[in-house]
Structure 1
Amino acid sequence: MTTRITIDPVTRIEGHLRIDCEINGGKVSKAWSSGQMWRGIESIVQGKDPREVWLYTQRICGVCTTVHAIASVRSVENALGMEIPLNAQYIRNLMVAAHAIQDHLVHFYHLSALDWVDVTSALKADPKKTAALAQNSSSWPLHSTQVFSDAQQRLKAFADTGQMGIFTNGYWGHPAMRLSPEVNLLATTHYLQALEVQRKANMIVSILGGKTPHIQNLAVGGVANAINTDSPATLTMERLYYVKTLIDDLGKFINEVYFKDVCAIGAAYADWTAIGAGVKNYLAVPDLPIDGKGIACLLPGGYLPGGDFAKFHPIRSLQDEYFQKGVHESVKHSWYQGEWTRHPWEEETKPEYTDFQDNGKYSWVKAPTFYGQPAQVGPLANVLVMYAAGHEPTRKYTELALNTVGSQLGQKLSVDALHSTIGRHAARAVRAAVLYEALQSQWHNLIENIGTGDAKTFVRPEFPKGEVKGVGYHEAPRGVLSHWVVIKDAKVKNYQAVVPSTWNSGPRNGQDVPGPYEASLIGTPIADPQRPLEVLRTVHSFDPCLACAIHLTDTEHQEIVEVRAA
């Protein structure tokens, strides 16, 4: 017997994603991923000054703001063949690395941990036993019996009202939940502590970017930060050393709490290392450039077809033609005119809505391919690619995660365990640890460069007559983000953003091959079709951001929503 379930909206991360599944014999046999709103940003920026487009594109989303700003200015700089000052690269690197760490912390604790943690079970925990458990594995200072008792009382106050507040929408008591009350209390307490820690990552972005979300300091040609060690109105050494303090605080939480929590979840749900793999073609781009042109990057990129390390193909720089030539998008199953497959520079964005058609068009999201194949992007792809490239910090933290989980299970785990739903969480923790080291190195690089007397942060762009093309890409928290621009006579002629959630949430492509979300759900066991927690676990593991993959505009200029402050 076939059962059809529809989850719409997929909440707690993004509200405009719809997932449909057919279930046979207690497992998902077919799946559809549908973006339910249109992103019209490509139409909005046509005809605009290329120097201003980053201000528009970072408003694709209220979460992924910094990443779109970075990709946009890089696309214009690439089109113009620009070289930007080292200080600008280091400041950009600090912002995007801090932003990514903040995003990873929020994803695990506040957006997806509740798929694995039964918060109501924590009410039954013994705070003293929880403290002993925590102190046995971590030196984090906020692991006293009093801390856990206070957290339990805060949780009880929610429960006593009959509403769970920030913990709403959890499948409490679901048969797929298996953590002990003490571990549930530990994780719930860290949920609350992570609210403060992620704020510190955002403070780094705010100090360097002027504000967050929607940073203000970027410019085609560098950044707008003025460096003057003697002026309190500029980026001073006092502010930079405060940034260093915030970086150190992030490192303590990542290494002593986040990394260890993910390993504990991985050990408790070890069977999920065999669930949710889906597409094993992994794509990641190099990032954190350490020269003016983006030829040398601190973090490597590449393509890993079939997850086979022997077939690894590096992507070496922000100018790499192998990446530029490989990206195409299809609209055969998307609500746009035609059934074409085209390179982003040759695309058009002309909406044409139909009903949800199982075998026809069923999503506003396009279907990207890399050299004709679907590709998974995100922290798992990033970690596996950097591991294949021999990146030492990535190898170190990957082996540490596998050994930590393996020791708890009493068995040795290989990298193959990462091809899974739980592997995507492990990869985020690995990536957060790698980015913490990167934050340290980029801070030191900036300080040393300023120490040489170099205070330059900007060079003026010059636009030629005629037409030029550029692509700017960035390894965003959710994976490969690329902005493609065609500039004619100093105005935007065409613009396309191929974003991480487009790669992962896209529908079937021009050859009817499922995208990563759809492929990853096949074979997923479903204990209760009325409470499909298992589907959410895998979809949430990708950290969907459908605001980036799709967007809403009203061509009649009618008011869509009004927000008022109380």
Structure 2
Amino acid sequence: MALNRVTIDPITRIEGHLRIEVDLDANNVVRDAYSSSTMFRGIELILKGRDPRDAGLFAQRICGVCTFSHYDRATEAVEAALGVQIPDTARLVRNLLNASLFIHDHVVHFYQLHGMDWFDPVSALQASPAKAAQVAQQYAATPFNAGQGTYEAVQARLKKFVESGQLGPFANGYWGHPAYQLSPEQNLIMLSHYLDALKVQRTLAQAMTVFGGKNPHPQSLVVGGVTSIMDVVDPSRVSEYLFKMKSGADFVENAYMADMRMLGEVYRGEAAAGIGAGVGNYLDYGGFPQDNLGWPRAKDFFPGGVILNRDLNHIAPVDANAITEDVTHAWYAGPDKGVGPFEEETILQYTGLEPDGALNRAGKYSWIKAPRYHGKPMEGGPLARFLIARGLKAEPQASLMNEFEQQVGWKPSYWFSTVGRTAARALEAQALARTVPAWVDELVSNVAHGNTQTYAEWQMKDGDGFALRSAPRGALGHWVKIRNGQIVAYQAVVPSTWNASPRDHLNQRGPYEEALMNTKVAIPDQPVEVLRTIHSFDPCIGCAVHLFDAAGQEIGQFQIDV
């Protein structure tokens, strides 16, 4: 049977460079899929020879979105290698920084990066603002910035935008595509919240700066704790953080969750059909520690665990020794089978594309390695975390899932879908937004009882260490080896490495690839359905370190002496 190859390169509205190739049959159903990172990321090599105290500052440059995640993980990995135990107040500050990151990241992802896979802004021009105000009342008791006047202003702004011909983020969209199912009024509500989110994300970023100093790339983490002691003991600074986070929480509760209930209801058929389900295996290391114990941890707000074959009745603990990376189909040299992060190396072996420009599917075709857990591909992210929490009956996650199902008429099986993956991210923002005030109270109580130490003294020594925790997009691990005061080996296995991985030596597809299987594409040259599933993972492909011209030739190499 002849198949039609569709290539999407680059996939937009993400961090980095991602290429997806799918093969469609005569009915435009995906019969095969390949995921390729097309630019190299070299932070692991850059870290070799560096002072371990600088690991976090370099590692957070892996990404311009979830910068704190890599900063925190790299710092923790060094602390593990050196046997450093941070003070409890420092743990609380790191959790509060992380909470602002997670909520900010999820809001930005849905509205600015993923939302237009679901709503059609052009359709909003045909909406009735009065009717839209009524529709908004169906999904929230106190809808965010809603009302006929608000929607009239948004519609007028959109009309002026369209008439100018300068469409900006709305340019080149597949507007009017049959995959869009929201009514004009629902599209107007979503568009209004898209504009609101531009302001809300700024407020949430400002919350991080209270304890982090700046955003992106905060500066207050050090090996041994945090440096923001003056902010911790200043009631006005703590109140400023809480005020900004509560402002973000209002948006999460009354806009983000309202929109997700609307999507869950309208796209319930896609959820029921399991479109975009993926590999069915889920992994998370756990996140937001509630005590200062090392690995493995028993008290995390996000409990860690492993799910195989969608079996929520058997949640296994994570075995760090079971994590490997396979380079069979990645542009690196190494053994045919997977190697653990402490043993593997990052040796480039670029073999190029096929003569016609297609991926070399039988050989190497991606700059992303293939992480595996006991040899199996694993999906990470908010859906993985919520499924693990539901299996373990952890709160508030289990109750939030039950509540959402009742509100939108879902069955538990509906979560195994692109829509479910998208909804879980909103629920995670809601769970954190509701919990942050209690963590602030705990910090205030610590300070009131004189527990103001935010840094623990330590001594440099040789050691190997790793840190495994949740990041917004999934399971994030950093591994480091320290000898004579220098980093001699470094590996980071990041969420999008797990999710965007190519095939392995057993020819098992990665989660992106498997999630696209059997997807029906209405219009092959307008593959909204493919983009929707890929974006639901919140892809974050690392930034490049080489410059190429249009013909693919290297322009030059640059060495900077620091």
Which TM bucket (shorter chain)?
A: over 0.9
Q: Secondary structure of 2:41's match?
A: coil
1:101 partnered with 2:97: no
Counterpart Cα distance in 1 of 2:70 and 2:485 = 21
Aligned partner of 1:552: which letter?
Answer: V
Matched with 2:357 is: none
Q: Secondary structure of 2:433's match?
A: helix
Q: Is residue 115–residue 171 contact of structure 1 (8 Å, CA) maintained in 2? A: no
Matched with 1:157 is: 160
Counterpart Cα distance in 2 of 1:94 and 1:350 = 37
Compute the displacement of 1:475 (Å). Answer: 0.6
Compute the displacement of 1:472 (Å). Answer: 1.1
Choose from 453, 458, 481 the match for 1:456.
Answer: 453
Residues 159-308 of structure 1: pairs in structure 2 closer than 5 A: 159-227=162-230, 236-273=234-271, 274-294=274-294, 295=297, 296-308=299-311
Aligned partner of 1:169: which letter?
Answer: N
Matched with 2:17 is: 16
Q: Deviations over 1:88-143 (max 9, x none)?
A: 11110001111011111111111111011111010111111111111343203511
Q: Is residue 233–residue 447 contact of structure 2 (8 Å, CA) maintained in 1? A: no
Matched with 2:431 is: 434
1:91 partnered with 2:87: no
Choose from 124, 127, 142 the match for 1:125.
Answer: 127
Cα 1:221/1:169, change in 2 over 3 Å: farther
Counterpart Cα distance in 1 of 2:130 and 2:79 = 57
Compute the displacement of 1:227 (Å). Answer: 3.5
Counterpart Cα distance in 1 of 2:505 and 2:343 = 16
| Worse overlay, 265-274 or 26-35 | 265-274
* Structure 1 unaligned residues grouped into runs of 5+: 229-233, 316-321, 407-412, 561-566
Counterpart Cα distance in 1 of 2:535 and 2:474 = 14
Q: Deviations over 1:220-240 (max 9, x none)?
A: 110011247xxxxx7511010
Matched with 2:397 is: 394
Aligned partner of 1:332: which letter?
Answer: T
Residues 45-84 of structure 1: pairs in structure 2 closer than 5 A: 45-84=47-86
Aligned partner of 2:276: which letter?
Answer: G
Choose from 530, 539, 547 the match for 2:534.
Answer: 539
User: TM-score, normalized by length of structure 2?
Assistant: 0.93
* Structure 2 unaligned residues grouped into runs of 5+: 354-359, 548-553
Q: Is residue 78–residue 223 contact of structure 2 (8 Å, CA) maintained in 1? A: yes
Q: Secondary structure of 2:452's match?
A: coil
Q: Secondary structure of 2:332's match?
A: coil
Residues 301-316 of structure 1: pairs in structure 2 closer than 5 A: 301-315=304-318
Q: Secondary structure of 1:344's match?
A: coil
Q: Is residue 378–residue 479 contact of structure 1 (8 Å, CA) maintained in 2? A: yes
Q: Secondary structure of 2:396's match?
A: helix
Q: Secondary structure of 1:52's match?
A: helix
Aligned partner of 2:421: which letter?
Answer: R
| Worse overlay, 243-252 or 212-221 | 243-252
Matched with 1:491 is: 486
Counterpart Cα distance in 2 of 1:195 and 1:474 = 28
Matched with 1:113 is: 115
**Number of equivalences:** 538
Compute the displacement of 1:534 (Å). Answer: 0.6
Aligned partner of 1:173: which letter?
Answer: G
Matched with 1:474 is: 469
Q: Secondary structure of 2:520's match?
A: coil
Q: Secondary structure of 1:342's match?
A: coil
1:143 partnered with 2:146: yes
Q: Deviations over 1:356-401 (max 9, x none)?
A: 3111100000000011111000111011111112112001111111
Compute the displacement of 1:430 (Å). Answer: 1.1
Aligned partner of 1:253: which letter?
Answer: F
Q: Is residue 368–residue 506 contact of structure 1 (8 Å, CA) maintained in 2? A: yes
Compute the displacement of 1:521 (Å). Answer: 0.3
Choose from 336, 350, 354 the match for 1:353.
Answer: 350
Counterpart Cα distance in 2 of 1:486 and 1:553 = 27
Q: Is residue 44–residue 491 contact of structure 2 (8 Å, CA) maintained in 1? A: yes
Counterpart Cα distance in 2 of 1:278 and 1:299 = 22
Q: Secondary structure of 2:280's match?
A: coil
Counterpart Cα distance in 1 of 2:190 and 2:342 = 46
Matched with 1:326 is: 322
User: TM-score, normalized by length of structure 1?
Assistant: 0.92
Compute the displacement of 1:15 (Å). Answer: 4.8
Matched with 1:364 is: 367
Compute the displacement of 1:553 (Å). Answer: 4.9
**Alignment RMSD:** 1.7
Aligned partner of 1:13: which letter?
Answer: I
Q: Is residue 14–residue 541 contact of structure 2 (8 Å, CA) maintained in 1? A: no
Cα 1:157/1:235, change in 2 over 3 Å: farther
| Worse overlay, 98-107 or 160-169 | 160-169
Q: Is residue 132–residue 151 contact of structure 2 (8 Å, CA) maintained in 1? A: yes
Counterpart Cα distance in 1 of 2:509 and 2:229 = 48
1:552 partnered with 2:548: no
Cα 1:136/1:337, change in 2 over 3 Å: closer
Aligned partner of 2:21: which letter?
Answer: D
Q: Identity of paired residues, percent?
A: 41
Matched with 2:519 is: 524
Q: Deviations over 1:418-464 (max 9, x none)?
A: 01000011100111111113322211111110010121100122122
Aligned partner of 2:280: which letter?
Answer: K
Counterpart Cα distance in 2 of 1:169 and 1:78 = 48
Counterpart Cα distance in 1 of 2:83 and 2:423 = 38
Q: Secondary structure of 1:44's match?
A: helix
Counterpart Cα distance in 2 of 1:305 and 1:552 = 36
Q: Secondary structure of 2:152's match?
A: helix
Matched with 1:563 is: none
Q: Deviations over 1:149-205 (max 9, x none)?
A: 111111111100123212223210112112111111010001111111122211111
| Worse overlay, 306-315 or 15-24 | 306-315
Counterpart Cα distance in 1 of 2:11 and 2:496 = 14
Q: Deviations over 1:474-517 (max 9, x none)?
A: 21110001001111122111000000000000100121100000
Aligned partner of 1:291: which letter?
Answer: D
